[in-house]
Amino acid sequence: MAMSKIELRVSDVAPPTPEPPRTIYRDLLNLPDPVVLGVTIRYYNFDDVGLYFRVTGSAIGYTFGTVDLGLLASGTNAYRNLDNFGSRAKPAGEILESINLILRAYTDAAYSNLKWEYVRTVTVIWINSSDPSYTVDFLNSFDDGTVQGWDGAGELGVGQWGLVVSQDYVLSPPWSLSLWFRGPAGYICNPADNEIRARLYKTFNTPNRNFVYAIADIRLRRGPTDGGNCWPKYASFQNGTSILLFIGQPYDGALSVYPPVDKWIRLVTPLPKNTSVDVRLVLSMCSKHVAAMETIYLDDFKIISKD
């Protein structure tokens, strides 16, 4: 097969700039067995014709699904969040492994005539935040009934928002942190540029140690009116405006939900040591109804470190 005219990436860095090395970080603490893997991909069609794309995976000990991504026009690219894409037995301890994300492109809607194949290898690093080798530098469980220094803000198109401790959904009872927000009257999905976006944020001074990780358990909720009136588009974990993790797809006016909703999601990312970091959890949505609002819950946020 000739040099492929398709590509798969797990970053927002676009070709021809080389894809930076990509690593998925995971924390073993309190995960079920088996564990599932989700990942957001971005895929490209550099061919002269539209192609039908399919993605699967391969790695020792894993079982992967196969996802048909549909038709992608020549010269375009698209994002897709692959929820519950793979599964494996829960590791017994901290390990490093590799997984292959396999993108295939076909000339027909029946996925019978393969034209291109592309493989992206991604490193997975498993940590165990309960291991005594780590120091827990910060832990925000909100179990004292306060917001513990976190704040909220509307970033774009927000008419109202509120930040409270909540008992609606928790990982460590009795409280979690909850940010709700909605757009102003008349601010709905159409036209497509009417994005509604808000964030949770807090500043931390990281320790001067060789390995520093932030771990955030979040939950996205549609509602509390008719869930069909609110469409989450993406969630991002940021240091200031720098995106460390991205789940979902860039904003559009489609009546579609892109990130996982109504379940807890764990985000793990390394942080720079011995510096001030502006941790932001950003959520984007569109709304069909002025009363519809989106909610992001946060519980058991922590920063851990070791040498």
Mean pLDDT of 239-262: 93
Query: 0.75 exceeded by the pTM?
Result: yes
Tokens in use for 179?
């940010």
What is the H or E stretch that residue 282 is in? strand 276-287
Contact status, residue 281 vs residue 235, Cβ threshold 8 Å: yes
Nearest-CA neighbor of 179 among 301, 85, 33, 288?
301
What is the H or E stretch that residue 174 is in? none
Please count the helices (runs of H) and the strands (runs of E) in the chain: 0, 20
Contact status, residue 214 vs residue 283, Cβ threshold 8 Å: no
Mean pLDDT of 86-101: 97
Contact status, residue 199 vs residue 180, Cβ threshold 8 Å: no
Residue 227 DSSP symbol = G
CA atoms within 13 A on the CB side of 230: 28
Residue type, 302: K
Q: What angle do CA 272, 175, 83 make, to 5 degrees?
A: 60
What SS3 state is found at 92? coil
Mean pLDDT of 191-218: 95
Q: Is the pLDDT of residue 54 over 80?
A: yes
Distance from C-alpha of 138 to C-alpha of 12, rounded to nearest angstrom: 29
What percentage of the chain reaches a pLDDT higher than 90?
A: 84
Q: Is the pLDDT of residue 226 over 80?
A: no
pLDDT at 2: 62
- Residue 203, Cβ neighbours under 10 Å: how many? 12
Phi, psi values for residue 216, rounded to 5°: -130, 125
Tokens in use for 205?
């001074």
Contact status, residue 201 vs residue 157, Cβ threshold 8 Å: no
Q: Is the pLDDT of residue 288 over 80?
A: no
**What are the helix (H) ranges across the chain?**
none
Tokens in use for 23?
């690593």
What SS3 state is found at 149? coil
What SS3 state is found at 98? strand
Domains annotated on the chain, with CATH: 6-127 (2.60.40.10), 135-306 (2.60.120.260)
* Averaged pLDDT score across all residues of the chain: 94
Tokens in use for 258?
């892109």
pLDDT level of residue 227 (50, 70, 90 thresholds): low
Question: Could you tell me which residues come within 8 angstroms of residue 47 by beta carbon, excluding any fewer than 6 positions away?
Answer: 5, 6, 74, 105, 115, 116
pLDDT level of residue 183 (50, 70, 90 thresholds): confident
What is the H or E stretch that residue 169 is in? none
Q: Is the pLDDT of residue 45 over 90?
A: yes
Tokens in use for 275?
């510096």
